[in-house]
Amino acid sequence: MKFVRFLMKNAALANVPRHVEHFSKFSPSPISMKQFIDFGTSNACEKTSFVFLRQELPVRLSNIMKEINLLPDRLLTTPSVQMVQSWYIQSLMDMLDFLDKSPDDYGVLAEFVTTLENIRNRHNDVVPTMAQGVLEYKEAFGEDPITNQNIQYFLDRLYMSRISIRMLINQHTLVFDGAMKPVPPSAIGSIDPHCNVAEVVRDAYENAKALCEQYYLTSPDLVLKELNTKNRMQPISIVYVPSHLYHMLFELFKNAMRATIESHDDYNLPPVEVMVAIGGEDLSIKVSDRGGGVPFRKMEKLFSYMYSTAPAPQIGEHDRPPLAGFGYGLPISRLYAQYFQGDLQLYSMEGYGTDAIIHLKALSTDSVERLPVYNKTAKRNYKVSQMADDWCVPTKEPLDLAVFRLSK
């Protein structure tokens, strides 16, 4: 019996490239926040969700799997990247098992929920494992601008795809698995229709503060202000995923606290100031610190996966500063903001401090998934060659004008 299962598994594995080729020809279907909400309330139907996900998840998995194969061979062959690739292959195989199963069978629906939870758990460590693969590659082969550009482009798309897949899985399992109760009770899956922004800000601050005090034994205070142009007497709330907003704010607070403490003495810490404002289209959150700022030439690097201001950790390493890591905090936080058509931007004044601004859509109809799609344009981005710079590159040494003097 085991031998039969072994043969069947090998046969399925051999067909994976064919399935990837097939499903990658379809574009993912972006869903708006309003559609997530509508489906989770008045139109909630587990059978419909099952039929949609058994097609949509293989499409999203296959689109990004095609791009994994476009990575440089020397990166693709690192043990960490091969492990990530094996997770995606297994998850695709798991989903393919449901293509021909009936949505009318409640046993199939229950098995589907379990499979989705297994897929989500399997991909829990995609970010640190992929980061480890990039470190392995850098240590073995060094860096070059073209490879850095390819890795940046790919990781943005891989992690955005991962965020979207987890969103779909969380919505299905939270809405249709009766054993899991939403928090807060008004939540529809992982979405809170009345997400109180100030509450999430305070929650992220308190947790970052606890982590900061654990290591530095002190922390800056929080000054929080709100401006609700719709109703000045009401706290600001939007339809959003609280865990996504928390992730962004927690990262920004960690950075702000670390910078503030390391540029001031313990008895004179300026507060971290947060301003939350909402208008007709946008909700914006500005996190301001007086942590000394960042030189202008380094600003672009802050969102690079190949750059970190802290020593690179190893997976499983615990005895290190808790406010730093692989350097993936900011780029992934920006992806969370961009996922529903928002953004995360940094403005810094060296010698003073930094403003980080999260822009989100105020309307649920405008909050639509931003998804990577594999096509000729995407493929072309992995074949970019380094162009000659068409601007003069300044030298670091002062120009010696003596060599240009005319001889008398």
Catalytic positions, written as ranges:
247, 251, 254-255
User: Is 354 within 8 Å of 286 (Cβ atoms)?
Assistant: no
> Count of residues for the chain?
408
Can you tell me the distance from the alpha carbon of 235 to that of 258, in angstroms, rounded to the nearest whole number?
Answer: 29
User: Is 374 within 8 Å of 70 (Cβ atoms)?
Assistant: no
Burial of 232 (0-12, 13-18, 19+ CB in 10 A): exposed
Can you tell me the distance from the alpha carbon of 102 to that of 47, in angstroms, rounded to the nearest whole number?
Answer: 9
Q: In the structure encoding, which two tokens stand for residue 286, read together?
A: 């500005």
Can you tell me the distance from the alpha carbon of 292 to that of 280, in angstroms, rounded to the nearest whole number?
Answer: 34
What radius of gyration do the chain's Cα atoms show? 24
